[in-house]
């Protein structure tokens, strides 16, 4: 606890020392330097009090507390920057001009840095995503681990077809992507997504009974998440325009030239999709192989051609 106040204590000592020199030697710059050290000390103390003492007791959710602390850091940085200019630029007109020059200089000289900084403010202010969310940004897919002033750090995941498994690589994305790219958030305001399993059956299978059996299995395995998803959709409808969606499992039928294709559509937890997908496939496989009324279809190929046969006369 006391270790957190070492830096503010050093800054306060520097402020006192600068004030002492300014008083004794009548050097105006040391007055300004003293105020600068005092400003930094107060920012440090305020940040420590809010994030270490206030937020843990007031905000119980860990992700929300982390985002709140990041927001306090951004606000402290912006406020400190403007107050710093006010300390060192005494004339009001000069202060306004200085702010204008500062803004223009930042916009021109460090455009990318400025865009990243603005992107960080947009992420924090609009809650585009939070720590722990599963997102896809600029073609990179992963779980958000940290949101900084300039960049976002993610644990990279494999693509949809590969089961969204962690690759072990850490991806650092510039925050400017939220300005110019589409951000796909899998867990913003809700924790579910729709998934499908495709099962091909032979034409001599009892596909109607197969549909009934498969639906019973999927309903049994996804009943709880379906009810939860329905409640979350109702809450989403209060925030956005969202027509009511069906969360109950359903089977779509498609006729092909080789088999009858059944597509099982169901709701699953966004971060446990691979686990649910695997569990359902195992149960469905056991059901299919133990039944004599339907079987898995495979692709058939009809080969046609012309063959000539020559008979050799034995002499």
Could you tell me the pLDDT band of residue 102, with boundaries at 50, 70 and 90? Answer: low
Q: In the structure, what pLDDT confidence band is assigned to residue 232 with cuts at 50, 70 and 90?
A: confident
Does residue 105 carry a pLDDT above 90?
Answer: no
pLDDT at residue 82, rounded to an integer:
78
- The answer to whether 88 and 32 have CB atoms below 8 angstroms apart is yes
* More confident position, 315 or 87: 87
Same domain, residue pair 71 and 90: yes
**Which residues constitute the domain of residue 157?**
134-185
Give the containing element (helix H, strand E) for 220: helix 207-239
* Nearest to 34, CA basis, from 15, 50, 20: 15
| 51 part of a folded domain | yes
Is 220 in the same domain as 179?
no
Q: Which of the residue ranges 93-107, 135-149, 173-187, 244-258 would you say has the lowest mean pLDDT?
A: 93-107
Q: Is 127 inside any structural domain?
A: no
d(CA 3, CA 161): 48
Which CATH number covers residue 275? Answer: 3.30.70.100
Q: Clarify whether residues 24 and 86 are in a common domain.
A: yes
Q: Which residues on adjacent β-strands are paired with residue 14?
A: none
Q: Which helix or strand (DSSP H or E) is residue 136 part of?
A: strand 134-137
Calpha distance 113→63 (Å, rounded): 26
- For 84, 110, 117, 150, the CA distances from 40, given in Å and listed in that order, are 9, 24, 20, 21
179 within domain boundaries: yes
The predicted structure's pLDDT at residue 278: 92
In this structure, are 7 and 102 located in the same domain? yes
pLDDT band at 307 (very low <50, low <70, confident <90, very high): low
- 100 found inside a domain: yes
Q: Are residues 149 and 200 in the same domain?
A: no
Same domain, 170 and 92: no
One domain for residues 10 and 72: yes
pLDDT of residue 311: 62
Cβ atoms of 65 and 59 closer than 8 Å: yes
In the prediction, which pLDDT does 94 show?
A: 63
- The pLDDT of residue 161 is 66
Task: Give me the mean pLDDT over the 82-105 stretch.
Answer: 70
pLDDT at site 314? 61
Mean pLDDT of 267-275: 88
Q: Report the alpha-carbon distance of residue 3 to residue 212 in Å, rounded.
A: 65
Q: What is the pLDDT of residue 51?
A: 82
Residue 104 lies in a domain: yes
The span from the CA of 144 to the CA of 172, in Å, is 10
Q: Hey, which of 9-23, 78-92, 299-313 has the most confident mean pLDDT?
A: 9-23
CATH number at residue 152: 2.30.30.60
User: Looking at residues 269-291, what average pLDDT do you find?
Assistant: 91
Q: How many C-beta atoms lie closer than 10 Å to residue 211's C-beta? A: 20
Confidence of residue 73 (pLDDT cuts 50, 70, 90): confident
What is the pLDDT confidence band of residue 99, given thresholds at 50, 70 and 90? low
DSSP, collapsed to helix, strand or coil, labels residue 192 as: strand
* Whole-number Å distance between alpha carbons of 265 and 57: 43
Same-domain pairing of 63 and 103: yes
Q: Say which residue, 305 or 188, is predicted with more confidence.
A: 188
Helix, strand, coil content of the chain in percent (nearest 5): 55, 20, 25
Shared domain check, 146 and 98: no
- Same-domain pairing of 31 and 100: yes
Residue 217 has pLDDT above 70, yes or no: yes
How many domains, the chain?
3
pLDDT tens track for 180-205: 888 999 888 888 889 999 999 999 99
For position 214, what pLDDT does the model report?
94
The answer on 93 and 33 residing in a single domain is yes
pLDDT at position 3 over 80:
no
Residue 78: inside a domain: yes
Task: Determine the angle formed by the axes of helices 28-48 and 6-25, rounding to 10 degrees.
Answer: 160
Determine, yes or no, domain membership for 306: no
Query: How many angstroms separate the CA atoms of 196 and 243, rounded?
Result: 21
Report, in angstroms and rounded to the nearest whole number, the Rg of the chain calculated over CA atoms.
Answer: 32
Task: Say if 237 falls within a structural domain.
Answer: yes
Q: Is there a contact between 22 and 28 (Cβ–Cβ < 8 Å)?
A: yes
Measured between alpha carbons, how far is 142 from 154 in angstroms, rounded to an integer? Answer: 6
Q: pLDDT band at 254, cuts 50/70/90?
A: very high
Specify the pTM: 0.61
Q: What percent of the chain has pLDDT over 90?
A: 22
Is the pLDDT higher at 238 or at 309? 238
pLDDT for 47 equals 84
């Amino acid at each position: 606890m006391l270790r957190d106040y070492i830096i503010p204590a050093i800054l306060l000592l520097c402020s006192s020392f600068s004030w002492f020199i300014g008083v004794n030697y009548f050097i105006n710059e040391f007055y300004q330097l003293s105020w600068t050290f005092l400003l930094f000390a107060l920012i440090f103390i305020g940040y420590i009090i809010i994030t270490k003492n206030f937020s843990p007791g007031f905000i119980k959710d860990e992700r929300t507390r982390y985002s709140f602390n990041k927001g306090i850091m951004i606000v402290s940085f912006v406020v400190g920057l403007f107050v710093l200019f006010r300390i060192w630029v005494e004339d009001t007109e000069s202060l306004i001009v200085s702010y204008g020059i500062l803004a223009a200089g930042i916009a021109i000289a460090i455009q990318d840095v400025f865009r990243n900084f603005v992107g960080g403010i947009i992420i924090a202010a609009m809650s585009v995503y939070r720590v722990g969310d599963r997102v896809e940004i600029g073609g990179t897919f992963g779980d958000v681990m940290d949101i900084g002033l300039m960049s976002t750090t993610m644990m990279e995941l494999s693509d949809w077809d590969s089961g969204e498994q962690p690759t072990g690589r850490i991806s650092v994305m510039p925050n400017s992507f939220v300005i110019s790219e589409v951000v796909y958030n899998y867990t913003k305001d809700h924790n579910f997504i729709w998934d499908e399993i495709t099962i091909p059956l032979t034409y001599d299978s009892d596909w109607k009974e197969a549909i009934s059996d498969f639906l019973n299995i999927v309903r049994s395995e996804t009943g709880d998440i379906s009810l939860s998803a329905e409640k979350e959709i109702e809450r989403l409808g209060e925030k956005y325009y969202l027509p009511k969606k069906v969360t109950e499992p359903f089977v779509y039928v498609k006729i092909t030239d080789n088999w009858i294709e059944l597509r099982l559509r169901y709701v699953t937890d966004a971060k446990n999709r691979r686990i649910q997908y695997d569990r359902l496939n195992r149960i469905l496989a056991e059901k299919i192989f133990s039944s004599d009324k339907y079987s898995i279809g495979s692709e058939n190929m009809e080969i046609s051609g012309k063959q000539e046969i020559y008979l050799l006369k034995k002499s």
